[in-house]
Structure 1
Amino acid sequence: MSGAFDSSSLEPLRAKLVGHPVFRSVTTLPRLRLFMEYHVYPVWDFMSLLKSLQQTFAPHGSPWLPDGDDDIRRFVNEIVTEEESDLALPGGDAEYISHFNMYRQSMSEIGADLGGINDFINCVAADGLAGGLAKREVPEPARRFMQSTFDVIASGEPHRMAAAFALGREDIVPGMFKALLAQMKITEADAPTFHYYLTRHTHLDEESHGPMALRMLARLCDGDARREEETLATAAAALQARIDFWDGVNDAISGG
């Protein structure tokens, strides 16, 4: 995919995210446990955003029809493959693992409580998204963040979904995860799977997913001023939702 998308107007929000105090608040294993018990929900709803993009650009079903943009289809299918079945931590029992299951595995490794997220997933499977979001056990910052993601999905507009995905996730994750790795006081020996998750995500998003996602945005907007404006507005809202989420996490783990 050729072209690029100018998102320089979002730089103040990106800087606020990368410099968020939550990353230096993760100073002990109990604090990391609480951090992960909140953060696991955005890890999950990322997959719903991604799968919505896949359904838009590479829909499943038979008979298959040769419609759509081949380059975008390749990008979306490639990232789905890596998110749903990436290389597992070397030396473990599995060769491949989804990033969501890797995150849950890393939670189990440090003794974080999986009850909340597992109950949420079971509730979504049985009663749908609304039932899951209504569960009292879901932390309020996570509930608000997921609702913002699903509001974008509900729009059904490809350029808005791609904006939330590319600029609200793939483009910003490397900076956030690098900041967390640099500032948190939890060593790789204390949380090996979590460290692997952070470094693996950073590598994939920096080297391939992020740049490809920005080119996808450029293609979807195709110089249309209205779509470009909506894309930037959606991205800004996604970044602000993440800032608000981190504010809530930081208050929880800092006792504020």
Structure 2
Amino acid sequence: MEKLALWRWPPLELLTMANLITQAHQETFKIPSVPSSVTSDQNGHAELAAEVAACKRIQNIEAKLAPLKEQLQHHPLYTIIDNIDELRYFMTNHIFAVWDFMSLLKALQQSLTCITVPWHAQGSRIARRLVNEIVLGEESDELGGQFISHCEFYQESMAAAGADDSALRAFADELVRLGDCSQKNLEASFKKANVPEPAARFVTRTFEFLRSQKTHVIASAFTFGREDLIPIMFQSFLDEMNKEAKGALDLFVLYLERHIEVDGDDHGPMSCKMVMELCGEDDQKWMDAEEAAFSALQARVQLWDGIYENVKKGKTKV
């Protein structure tokens, strides 16, 4: 029988939530090294030792992702965008990453919780709680006294900035009409909606994770691949551009601030904990999770690469 107390984090002297929260604008989960004094035969702390061992696994994944995160943090995309039209093109691509983030999340909710009638207990109690809490914040966040999903919030920021989200809406509508998310239907929907190539490649990789039907793989892609490492210099640039645009970017700036706040303080640590719970002590699952994490973050770098190349060539018409 699974113990309810297991969902809680280990004591602060072993693993603090603060060590999972990133430093300013760098969403990197930092897990402290495992104290040598913690072993499974001390004071009956086998479960605690297992959790700390899982933290080491997360730390190893983070170490292997560090070069990719460095690429994202210093990507030339941030310096090549120098006017609002180029920023709008960035947004028309980036919205697809925001949208398919929700698809990963809902796949996790379907796998880890009961969404059918009659209700029955399904999945790990810990993972169930974590995914439902993340869904609440991502799908029904409270902003300004109103409730809104982060994807809808991004779309509203696009409208305020004069960016076009019609490609995303047409793509999603067509995919729903076709009835499933096979690669054939994805490609047909990309074509019909005239989805920008960088975004299409990114979404294709995401749906490969989804079609794997491996919950731990999806959770890892969700946790480690959704990094929007926005450097401070780019945020300063946005602030200046927003002044020139007379506040047209207010919502976009607010979206980025909210995204950093929620991911760093809440959803980042929770999704990290979910990967630990799903992989447990299974070496193969941890290998799968590491591979998925690297592939997902690599796809993010490639998305930035594709947007950069098109901006560089002046191909910013959607």
TM-score normalized by structure 1?
0.90
One of 4, 24, 27 as aligned partner of 2:79: 24
Contact residue 41 and residue 117 of structure 1 kept, 8 A: yes
User: 1: CA distance between counterparts of 2:284 and 2:103?
Assistant: 26
Contact residue 102 and residue 197 of structure 1 kept, 8 A: yes
User: 1: CA distance between counterparts of 2:134 and 2:231?
Assistant: 18
Between 179-188 and 133-142, the greater mean CA deviation after superposition:
179-188
As a proportion of its length, which structure holds more helix?
A: 1
User: 2: CA distance between counterparts of 1:115 and 1:134?
Assistant: 13
Question: Corresponding residue for 1:233?
Answer: 291
Secondary structure of 1:166's aligned partner: helix
One of 153, 175, 179 as aligned partner of 2:210: 153
Q: Cα gap change, 1:178/1:54 in structure 2, threshold over 3 Å: closer, same or farther?
A: farther
Contact residue 168 and residue 193 of structure 2 kept, 8 A: no
Matches within 5 A, 1:78-227: 78-88=133-143, 90=144, 95-128=146-179, 129=181, 130=185, 131-135=188-192, 137-169=194-226, 172-173=227-228, 175-176=229-230, 180-184=234-238, 185-187=240-242, 189-227=247-285
Q: 2:154 corresponds to which letter in structure 1?
A: Y
TM-score normalized by structure 2?
0.73
1:67 CA displacement: 2.8
Between 73-82 and 130-139, the greater mean CA deviation after superposition:
130-139
1:24 CA displacement: 2.4
Q: 2:230 corresponds to which letter in structure 1?
A: M
Secondary structure of 1:87's aligned partner: strand
Question: Corresponding residue for 2:311?
Answer: 253
User: 2: CA distance between counterparts of 1:182 and 1:41?
Assistant: 24
Question: Corresponding residue for 1:63?
Answer: 118
Contact residue 152 and residue 161 of structure 1 kept, 8 A: yes
Give RMSD over aligned pairs. Answer: 1.9
Q: 1:21 corresponds to which letter in structure 2?
A: P
Q: Cα gap change, 1:179/1:99 in structure 2, threshold over 3 Å: closer, same or farther?
A: farther
Q: Cα gap change, 1:183/1:240 in structure 2, threshold over 3 Å: closer, same or farther?
A: farther
Higher RCO (CA < 8 A, seq sep 6+): 1
Aligned length: 249
1:66 CA displacement: 1.8
Pair member with larger Rg: 2
Contact residue 26 and residue 186 of structure 1 kept, 8 A: no
1:182 CA displacement: 4.0
Contact residue 177 and residue 198 of structure 1 kept, 8 A: no
Q: 1:186 corresponds to which letter in structure 2?
A: M
Structure 2 gaps, min length 5: 1-6, 10-50
Structure 1 gaps, min length 5: none
1:87 CA displacement: 1.9
User: 2: CA distance between counterparts of 1:21 and 1:64?
Assistant: 50
Between 200-209 and 127-136, the greater mean CA deviation after superposition:
127-136
Contact residue 168 and residue 238 of structure 1 kept, 8 A: yes
User: 2: CA distance between counterparts of 1:219 and 1:104?
Assistant: 33
